[in-house]
Amino acid sequence: MSGVFDFTAKDMTGSEVSLNEYAGKVLLIVNTATGCGFTPHYDPLEAMYKEFRDKGFEILDFPCNQFANQAPGDEEEIHQFCTLKFGTEFPQFAKVDVNGEDALPLFAYLATEKPFAGFGKGLKNAALKKFADSNNKQYGDKAYIKWNFTKFLIDREGNVVARFEPTTDMEEVKAAVVAELEK
């Protein structure tokens, strides 16, 4: 496979979706959870989506329960939570694994293209690293994603251009999205 648009994923109803449907758009692919300390990221994500979707921007939301069981509901429960609490309108896919033998191949690809480079500096980031390392031991070398709300920026040709850990300030993420949209 040569790019993100070569992959498929199941939507909330279980239907297979070719990511080629998003060819020509700038994407932000995010693994999410409804019960995480980073769940408030839905607010700035939705704000970006509303601001930029008419300029060829899409956010693809992949709920995942692999990080301290912080997305325990089924697809419908997760969708209801996101739409009622945060007003999300961007595409939400079926709940997936992003690590381990059963990881959605898309996430293995994303993480290979832009490997984990750390959570950043500071006490909060160090604490998250310790917790994430403990959680991800079970996946060994297939611990592709370190925590919920890891974001991958994809250009209009399907190339992975940036990875943002959940500790990255959302204004930095937005600036990168704007820069990519302006290319």
Instruction: Kindly give the residue spans of alpha helices, DSSP state H, lying in 34-148.
Output: 42-52, 75-86, 105-113, 123-136
Contact 63, 92 (CB under 8 A): yes
- Residue appearing with tokens 């959605």: 104
Q: Which of these is catalytic: 19, 29, 33, 36?
A: 36
Q: Are strands 26-32 and 16-18 parallel, antiparallel or unpaired?
A: unpaired
Clarify whether 64 is annotated catalytic: no
Interior/surface letters 128-149, b for 16+ CB within 10 angstroms, e for the rest: bbeebeebbeebeebbbbbbbb
Residues annotated as catalytic are 36
